Amino acid sequence: MAVSKDAPVRFQRGNFVVADLDRALIFYEGVLGFEVEYRLGDNPDSYSRPVFDIPVEAKLSFVTLNLAGQRRVMALTEMTEIPLEPVPHPRRSAIVLETYDPDAVMAGARELGLTVYEEEVLKTPDGRVGREIGIVDFDDNLVVIYWFPEGQS
C-alpha cells in the first residue's frame, strides 16, 4: 500500500538500538521468528546517527527483519565501540506482537536468561480475553507478546 490522500501515513517499521546484533538476533530470529531481510555495515553518513543521537566514534550495523507476510516491519541498529547506556525507566517504548504460541516464546526467552514478566490477563475494550506477557531483550528493550484463543483475534 502506498501513501495517498486517503491513507497519508503507512507504518513501516519499529527499530531498537542494540549493543550486539548477533546476540540480539538469537532472540529476534530464534525465539520470535523474525527473518533478516538485509544487513548493512557501518555508514558514517547514516541518518540513524543524528536521529538516535549516536556519537561519531560509534560503529553501526543495521538489519531489517521480516515476519511471514510482513516485510521489513522491524529493524535493529547495532552500536559498537562505545557503551550502550541502559534504557531509562520508566520505559518509553515497546513493540507489541501477537503470537500463536506464547508458551514457546516465553520458554525461549527464559532459556536465553531474558526477563519474562508475570503473565497478565488481557481484556480488550471490545470484550476479547487473552494473555499478555512482557519480555525484556538483551539490551533492555521491551517486547510485549499477546495471544487470544482461536476466533478472538
Q: What is the model's pTM?
A: 0.92
Q: pLDDT by residue (tens digit) across 103-135?
A: 999 999 999 999 999 999 999 999 999 999 999
Cell representation of residue 6: 486517503
Q: pLDDT tens digit string along 8-67?
A: 998 899 999 999 999 999 999 999 999 999 999 998 888 989 998 999 899 999 999 999
Give the residue from 9, 18, 32, 5 showing the smallest Cα distance to 102.
32
CATH 3.30.720.110 placement within the chain: 90-153
CATH 3.10.180.10 residue ranges of the chain are 12-83
Fold of domain 12-83:
2,3-Dihydroxybiphenyl 1,2-Dioxygenase; domain 1 (3.10.180)
Whether 101 contacts 31, CB under 8 Å? no
Q: What is the pLDDT of residues 6-20, one digit of tens each?
A: 889 988 999 999 999
Residue 99's pLDDT is 96
CATH number attached to the domain at 90-153: 3.30.720.110
What does the block give as the cell for 130? 487473552
